[in-house]
Structure 1
Amino acid sequence: MADDLTVDRTPGFKVGEKKTLDEYQKLDQEDEALNRWKASLGIGIAQGQSISDPNDPRLCIIKSLALEVEGRPDITIDLTQPGALESLKGKPFTIKEGSTYQMKAVFVVQHQVLSGLKYIQSVKRKGIRVGKDQEMIGSYAPNTVDKPTHTKKFAPEEAPSGMMARGHYEAVSRFVDDDDVTHLKFEWSFDIAKDWK
């Protein structure tokens, strides 16, 4: 399933040169458009406000994932809890056929700018791939005391419907950046059913 989680690349796109936060802050300070872009990332904040943990080398920490469905309580997986990832595959959750839902990720960036974070998901049913999705999450500066986490809601999706769509599905998901660094990879499963359980 490794090939199923390969990033779909735009032809001709090249990843930019890595820079430190200090280098970004000093970069073309007179360029208004670049300054707006840096501000959108949170670059320009006082370095002392960063909440980066010097004992944790990770650049991106996915704190939680949630499935949001209008009119229903969110299904939230707290990934800071021991065994949370391991339980995802063995304990499928149910999605009602034809319902519209969206995923939400809460994460922390630390140490340096995170460039081009993406979510890739491959779904199989009875061993045959039935779908692959890729969602661009974006680029982010390290979190600060004022903004301790980032939240990204993914595009809404509609669950398949009909007798043929109902059943058990298995998925593998990966959070990866422009440098092809995998920040989180996990297996999980879900059931499409006639109604919510």
Structure 2
Amino acid sequence: MSAVQDDELVPSTTEGYKVGQSKTVAELADLDKEDESLQRWKASLGLAGAQGGPAEGKASLSNPSKQVVPQTLFLESPTLKKPLVLDLTQGATALATRFKKNPLVIKEGVDYSVGITFSVEGQIVSGLKYLQVVKRAGLSLDKMEAMIGSYGPARDPYQKIFAAEESPSGMLARSGSYDVRSRIIDDDNKTWLDFEWSFKIAKEWAA
């Protein structure tokens, strides 16, 4: 059984907010062409046909259905030479087997950030959120809920880095490991990532 229950990874909702009707990339690209601000917004989503956007021409319609493909989850810190990277393309089972049995090592008392890279295929995905719950010995210690945003299909992956936080310190913090469950969900409550991993606190980053 998972150390983190599903109800702990339910995103918060805004009272009175309703998810709008989904539109295809083609429908949105053709919508209100005379509205310059709307065209700039569509360009930011990587929509083909959006005028002057840096991502113009990158949208792929080969996959007609909406698809979010998580690629990596990483930890970075000013005190770390290079990010610690978890390859999310391995699948949830392989990830849990590898990263729960072999926890990541985080240096105590330092600022670090969690980030993700992901691709979007087919259609626009809206309201992506990243949820993370940290437990130790079955007790919840921390929950993070961060907005990723809305994105259109593109050949190049997107990257999102979340707000920095400080790792715990002291002898008690360094004893044992911490269980983490991470999830990516969209406005339609579609889950695109759900996996478990773990970390431990040490006096220094792992060599």
TM-score normalised according to structure 1 size = 0.88
Equivalent positions of 1:70-149 (< 5 A) are: 70-72=78-80, 73-81=82-90, 83-144=94-155, 148-149=156-157
Supply the AA of the counterpart residue of 2:202.
A
Partner of 1:189: 198
Cα distance in 2 between the residues matched to 1:175 and 1:6: 10
Equivalent positions of 1:29-44 (< 5 A) are: 29-44=33-48
Cα distance in 2 between the residues matched to 1:85 and 1:29: 47
SS in 2 for 1:160: coil
**How many aligned residue pairs are there?**
193
Which sections of structure 2, spanning at least 5 residues, go unmatched? Answer: 51-55
CA shift for structure 1 position 85:
4.6
Partner of 1:28: 32
**Retained in 1: the 8 A contact 2:47–2:59?**
no
Percent identical: 45
Supply the AA of the counterpart residue of 1:94.
V
Equivalent positions of 1:55-66 (< 5 A) are: 59-66=67-74
Change (3 A) 1:106 1:23: same
**Retained in 2: the 8 A contact 1:50–1:143?**
yes
Cα distance in 1 between the residues matched to 2:164 and 2:57: 37
SS in 2 for 1:165: helix
Report Cα offsets for 1:19-39 as digits up to 9, x if no partner.
001111122222222222111
CA shift for structure 1 position 53:
5.7
TM-score normalised according to structure 2 size = 0.84
